[in-house]
A = this chain, B = another copy of it.
């Protein structure tokens, strides 16, 4: 019923081996023969059987892209850039790879589950994006899984994620600490002394590194740390909204709000507006990542721009084996501060 390679071979009057060679294009085949085969493929409307092919070749066309939250444009942008590199060219039969985006929801269990599923599929490569959960047992489990994937021939690339020891995975890390420090130093330089910080989930690497940078900047500006000026939440608008309200409730005199990322910043802006505060005149708000959405929400929003698209594209190329990865991975992709009408202290 379904057309197989043997059917094509019969129709083209060649052996199955020859058809396979034509389809994979990795072996010399006489032009006329190739023609006949391709015509037969066309006439029979033949589609290669992926599983069979993967089984025989011990590798598949699948490339997994793990994201923490598919509804977050941050990951959407990265996934899109990676996919563009992957789906484009190269690969076996048909010259195409299937880039599959897996949504872990930031849950370590889901992450492990997807990694196992990809391992089961003998994925050609796996790209993990965004912050990692720092919980030790889970980190160890993920590290072990990545190691196994690597041993099984799957290329592993980390993008915007800290390196994993012992797993031969290429790591493209973002300089979250440096970026966050630059943001807060900028605000301190404008004269802000009372800064609120809207942090991400406690156990996430991005949360921790950005917070460290913030603290470092506070310290060097001689501003004393106050735990009441930090609230933790998710990396989403809702958390930014609620967090900003909470920070203002604790201290209405804050002159600046630093958000862990742009979605959080967007929510914070909404909260400030509803509280009758102007941005950035009354309260200066800064984000992180520089997503377009944030620009719309608050034209006066200052953010640290991470080269998401570039980094993701690079990760994609490395995953495809089209770009060399330096030994030990690539450290600290730097961000750039984008100042949009940020103002100094106007109140009290």
Contacts and interface: CB of A to CB of B under 8 A. Distances in A.
Nearest to A61: B117
Nearest to A57: B51
Interface stretch (A31-39, A93-101, A181-189): A93-101
Contacts of A69: 80
A119 B47 contact: yes
A181 to B, nearest CB: 28
Given A100-B102, A120-B48, A237 B77 contact: no
A237 to B, nearest CB: 6
B83 A96 contact: no
A55 B2 CA distance: 13
Interface string A47-84: 11111111100001110000001111100110110010
A29 to B, nearest CB: 21
Interface in A85-137: 87, 94, 96, 98-103, 105, 110, 113-114, 116-122
A92 B250 CA distance: 52
Interface residues of A, number: 60
Contact of A297 (B51, B99, B296): B296
A139 interface: no
Interface stretch (A157-165, A213-221, A224-232, A262-270): A262-270
A99 B120 CA distance: 14
A277 to B, nearest CB: 14
> Top 9 A-B pairs ranked by shortest CB distance?
A100-B100, A51-B54, A71-B76, A101-B101, A50-B120, A51-B51, A50-B121, A51-B55, A98-B117
B76 A70 contact: yes
Contacts of A60: 50-51
A347 interface: no
Interface string A292-310: 1101110100000000000
B101 A98 contact: no
Contact of A51 (B83, B103, B105, B121): B121
A251 B77 CA distance: 35
A96 B113 contact: yes
B237 A120 contact: no
A273 interface: yes
B117 A96 contact: yes
B98 A83 contact: no
Given A51-B50, A237-B292, A296-B269, A113 B87 contact: yes
A321 interface: no
Given A55-B55, A98-B121, A266-B296, A77 B87 contact: no
Contacts of A341: none
9 contacts: A48-B120, A50-B54, A50-B60, A50-B121, A50-B122, A62-B121, A71-B79, A80-B105, A237-B296
A328 interface: no
Interface string A238-251: 10000000000000
Nearest to A263: B293
Contacts of A191: none
A98 B118 CA distance: 8
